Amino acid sequence: MVEPTDRSSTAGQRLGAPESFGVSTLEPGLRPPTQPPGKLVSIRVQMLDDTQEVFQISQRSPGKVLFDLVCAHLNLTEGDYFGLEYQDQRKMTVWLDLLKPTLKQIRRPKNTILRFVVKFFPPDHTQLMEELTRYLFALQIKHDLACGRLICNDTSAALMVSHIIQSEIGDFDDTQSWQHLLHNKYLPDQDAIRDKITDCHRKHVGQTPAESDYQLLEIARRLEMYGIRLHPAKDREGIKLNLAVAHTGVLVFQGYTKINAFNWSKIRKLSFKRKRFLIKLRADPANSHHDTLEFAMASRDCCKIFWKICVEYHAFFRLFEEPKPKPKPILFTRGSSFRFSGRTQKQIIDYVKDSELKKVPFERLSSLLLGHKPSALSVPLADQPDSARLGHQAASNGLDEPPAGTSSTNGFHSLPTAPGSDPIHPSSGDSPLGSPHVVVNGNGPVNDQVMGSPSVLGPGQSPERQQLSPLTSPLLTEAGYVRNDDEDEARRKKFPTDKAYFIAKELLTTERTYLKDLQVITESFQSIVGKDEAFPDPVKNLISANYDPVYKFHQGFLKEVEQRLAQWEGRSNAHIKGDYQRIGDVLLKNIQGLRQLTIHLQKHSECLVELERACRTSRKVETLCREFEQQRVCYLPFNIFLLRPLHRLLHYKLILERLCKHYPPTHDDFRDCRAALADISEMVLQLQGTMMKMENFQKLLELKKDLTGIDGLVIPGREFIRLGCLSKLSGKGLQQRMFFLFSDSLIYTSRGMTPSNQFKVHGQLPLYGMTIRESEEEWGVPHSFTLFGQRQSVVVAASCAAEMERWVEDIRLAIDLAEQSSSPDTDLLSSSLSENSKSLSEDGGAEQEMEDELCSSRSSLERQGHRGNTTVHVCWHRNTSVSMVDFSVAVENQLSGNLLRKFKNSNGWQKLWVVFTNFSLFFYKSHQDDYPLASLPLLGYSVTVPSESENIHKDYVFKLHFKSHVYYFRSESEYTFERWMEVIRSATCSASRSLPSTRKDLY
């Protein structure tokens, strides 16, 4: 369908794409559209990189066929943000109507060039799911700057151009950058601010092309002329004005200054009569203006063109689905039959969410040759799993792996997502909207480390700088790293089959993980803070004095357990000399030794509090800790590691309970196990109060990092109860919001527009005096209920009946707690937000952010130090919730060990070391690795056993699935199979548990 022009290479070849060898890279939804029979006509389309492509369409094809061909050629999933424009016979620029035949609109196709450009500009570029989409938007901004359409001050212009140059030629170089500016025109008056541009460019060292796109859009979206196309008009008095349309409604400009705005919620009807454009407003007693506003335009055609784009903008941003065609009148027509054709913004988001398309990566290779325009757009690459996305992101090709023995890589792959969509789409500063299904913990080139082959680097990017998004999937293994099943079975038969052996082995595997977690504190963290003079010595010494002895003790404990298991398995001659098929004596001895460390365990809560105090009082200390959390070895929030020794006591208790339950009272090991259980139970009881306080404290600290626009979150007496997604009913309809329930208030947020992806607070509902009423029948919204507060009321809807029940139950509990409190007027919101809260509404003001200095856009990436794969983000993307009880249960349900993972399209099994903690599976090559290669958040997943039809002819296999994503894992015994099923169910099935009312006064 696509004919290259007479250039010597195709777009894909210019970008370094490999030959496809006939392998189709078009996924469902991106296939070339079917065309009606008839003679084919060539149509030229100019892309956003100024290259031209020729498309063949049938004479009778509607405009949608041509548009779909362009999107399929680019492999563009979110094509509905774009459109095809051209000059008609009246020399007026119009949009191609997708419903009408193309050749009835373009009378002279040989002499007409259509331009593929951005049509709908969303207010928040983080709503764009694909990096390709954001890249195309960046090219549109570049074009608008060059032609003078995007008017802004010199500071903004210089900063935007500097980001464009960074994406094209990489890091600043005096000669190269200067020459590049001489040979390329980015602004009409570029020479006047050339020095400013180069000064800004100097500050972007190490910034990847995708980061540059993100920063460019972050600046552009704040400009008044962002996405604005002016349509000349006059008011009733004949004063020259310009009309424009945006996502919010119709705008009125005088010159380039916006003087009025009519929100969609206030507009009752838009129409035109001849050359008069009419806006009918809803009746408002407080408004003395006319209810109908009238503007005169140059002609009826001008009026109709503007009216059409207003209709389309309204439908795209305000409607839930594409409007249905009007029924054809029997006798005569009245008015225009024009309607918006295509998916609305909500449908695009839902489409990415529900279809879970397999992404095809593309590369962007920037030319370093002066005066040469960098290649911009790529046709899809061949369908290969390890292609790089945008020079710094791992491929996201779903879960299809090649058969064992092929040269392609195997492993967990990322999948596309959208706001409130697919498995996961939290993102990070590196790739603000990377949306994979399996998450990489890392900040390093996982592909390089695992595969030994270099990934494609962005311009000016060093291998050290090449950070994968925490949401980018890695390629876990080489093709040859597949276990032979016969060897595995033979090896397994040598091991004991006693259940006590497998319980002891669980002790061994989890102890290995626990020791690695202690190393994060005693080695990794202390090596960092030991070199930094800003870190206070008292805190440093406190942590060292109370964690080093614990770490040293468990080194010895682990050695004893390893020796005993080796003897139990008969891997030495020791079993000949005595009965070593027991573990109770080892546990009893070491738990008695652990009791001597109780004084250190009691001090761990003080370490957590003092570290937080140091971060609060010193920006340098806070930055140091945030940067450490971004290291791959710190695969969880650092505060969780500080609580590990307290959590480990619970694990010993559970293991001993299982042993005591398994052994008959006459067994030789029973007495030791029972004595050890009594000792550990006493320790747990002694430290349980501290543990509960610290868990709540740690959770508040973690949420403090996830939220912005909130003051004093961590205060004595406040309990965290539940967090998760609910839809909030507003003037814009149902909108996804993240809710956080505490013992004194309920706050609601949306995911922020910053690279850190923090959640921006929209409002707070004090619980004191609140009432709840189910309101499904009242509003016609499933699973909805209304919260009536003393100051305001909100209507919210849960994703299902079970979620609604959990929320209602916990909110009622929290209301009871608030009623018992002596402070009914708790205000969580920051002063800047609370001062303006009365004037903000969901329809407009609450969505606005305080303007940051433009020059801080890059530093926001540097200082954010924030994970994109926290539990909060997982809940946001999987549209679910978790409670404090769920977190407490997760603490108890931790597991480590080897699992075999089956590849989807082959019979090979890959051996991995797997750690289950914090509602996620973390994957390593072996237990000796210092950091995980990938992680899989399990919230929303189901765990079952494979059915007969799936042809998994192995024992002890369990299946993880979420929508179309499926993973098979095999354990070594019935006991380990049951344990993995048990702990995974604790994360995937959020039982209807609520916080007991007895949990009070945690401070």
One-letter amino acid at 436 equals P
The C-alpha atoms of residue 636 and residue 871 are separated, in whole angstroms, by 10
pLDDT attached to residue 65: 92
Neighbours of 447 (CB within 10 A): 24
Average pLDDT score over residue span 32-54: 85
pLDDT attached to residue 387: 29
Neighbours of 473 (CB within 10 A): 31
pLDDT attached to residue 367: 39
pLDDT attached to residue 19: 35
pLDDT band at 89 (very low <50, low <70, confident <90, very high): confident
Average pLDDT score over residue span 11-20: 34
Whether the pLDDT of residue 816 is over 80: the answer is yes
The C-alpha atoms of residue 955 and residue 973 are separated, in whole angstroms, by 8
Answer positive or negative: Cα dihedral of 466, 471, 472, 474: positive
pLDDT attached to residue 865: 38
Query: Which range is least confidently modeled, 46-60, 131-145, 867-881, 969-983?
Result: 867-881
For residues 243 and 302, the answer to whether their CB atoms sit within 8 Å is: no
If DSSP states are collapsed to H, E and C, what string results for 600-639? HHHHHHHHHHHHHHHHHHCHHHHHHHHHHHCCCCCCCCHH
Neighbours of 10 (CB within 10 A): 16
Closest residue by Cα to residue 868 from 322, 399, 417: 417
The C-alpha atoms of residue 823 and residue 669 are separated, in whole angstroms, by 55
pLDDT attached to residue 178: 87
Closest residue by Cα to residue 642 from 508, 509, 522, 510: 522
Average pLDDT score over residue span 736-758: 83
Average pLDDT score over residue span 744-757: 78
pLDDT attached to residue 8: 37
Whether the pLDDT of residue 975 is over 70: the answer is yes
Terminal Cα-to-Cα distance of the chain (whole angstroms): 69
pLDDT band at 425 (very low <50, low <70, confident <90, very high): very low
pLDDT attached to residue 682: 94
Rg of the Cα trace of the chain? 31
If DSSP states are collapsed to H, E and C, what string results for 129-191? CCHHHHHHHHHHHHHHHHCCCCCCCHHHHHHHHHHHHHHHHCCCCHHHHHHHHHHCCCCCCHH
For residues 83 and 343, the answer to whether their CB atoms sit within 8 Å is: no
Average pLDDT score over residue span 107-118: 90
Answer positive or negative: Cα dihedral of 846, 847, 848, 850: positive
Residue 950 structure tokens: 């799936």
pLDDT attached to residue 953: 85
Q: What is the DSSP string of 852-902?
A: PPGGGHHHHHHHH---S-SHHHHHHHHT-EEEHHHHHHHHH--EEEEEEEE
pLDDT attached to residue 35: 75
Most confident range (mean pLDDT) of 7-11, 329-333, 430-434, 906-910 is 906-910
For residues 32 and 68, the answer to whether their CB atoms sit within 8 Å is: yes
Query: Residue 241 forms beta bridges with which residues?
Result: 233
Rama region for 846: left / alpha / beta (φ>0; ψ in -120 to 50; rest): alpha
Q: What is the DSSP string of 710-762?
A: B---S-TT--EEEEEEEEEEETTEEEEEEEEEESSEEEEEEE-SSTT-PEEEE
Average pLDDT score over residue span 751-768: 79
Whether the pLDDT of residue 592 is over 60: the answer is yes
Neighbours of 52 (CB within 10 A): 15
One-letter amino acid at 2 equals V
Q: What are the tens digits of pLDDT across the range 172-196? A: 888 888 889 988 999 998 888 999 9
Q: What are the tens digits of pLDDT across the range 213-224? A: 999 999 999 899
Residue 207: CB partners within 8 Å, gap ≥ 6? 163, 166, 215, 460, 858, 861
pLDDT band at 820 (very low <50, low <70, confident <90, very high): confident
Q: What are the tens digits of pLDDT across the range 322-371? A: 666 655 544 444 556 566 667 888 888 777 766 555 555 566 654 333 33
pLDDT band at 489 (very low <50, low <70, confident <90, very high): low
Query: Which range is least confidently modeled, 92-101, 716-725, 899-908?
Result: 899-908
pLDDT attached to residue 451: 30
Flag whether the pTM goes above 0.85: no
Average pLDDT score over residue span 519-530: 92
Average pLDDT score over residue span 106-132: 88
pLDDT band at 905 (very low <50, low <70, confident <90, very high): low
Average pLDDT score over residue span 252-263: 89
Average pLDDT score over residue span 793-810: 91
Whether the pLDDT of residue 430 is over 70: the answer is no
Average pLDDT score over residue span 424-434: 31
pLDDT attached to residue 956: 93
Whether the pLDDT of residue 479 is over 80: the answer is no
pLDDT band at 32 (very low <50, low <70, confident <90, very high): low
Task: Determine the Cα angle at 86 with ends 84 and 88, to 5°.
Answer: 140
Q: At what angle do helices 857-864 and 209-220 cross, to 10 degrees?
A: 120
Q: Which DSSP symbol is given to 2?
A: E
Domains in the chain (CATH in brackets) are 40-118 (3.10.20.90), 228-324+337-354 (2.30.29.30), 519-706 (1.20.900.10), 709-821 (2.30.29.30), 894-986 (2.30.29.30)
Whether the pLDDT of residue 577 is over 70: the answer is no
Whether the pLDDT of residue 308 is over 80: the answer is yes
Burial class (CB within 10 angstroms; exposed 0-12, middle 13-18, buried 19+) of 578: exposed
pLDDT band at 44 (very low <50, low <70, confident <90, very high): very high
How much of the chain exceeds pLDDT 90, in percent? 39
Query: Which range is least confidently modeled, 201-205, 367-371, 490-494, 923-927?
Result: 367-371
Whether the pLDDT of residue 675 is over 80: the answer is yes
pLDDT band at 289 (very low <50, low <70, confident <90, very high): low
How much of the chain exceeds pLDDT 70, in percent? 71
pLDDT attached to residue 292: 85
Whether the pLDDT of residue 988 is over 90: the answer is no
pLDDT attached to residue 10: 37
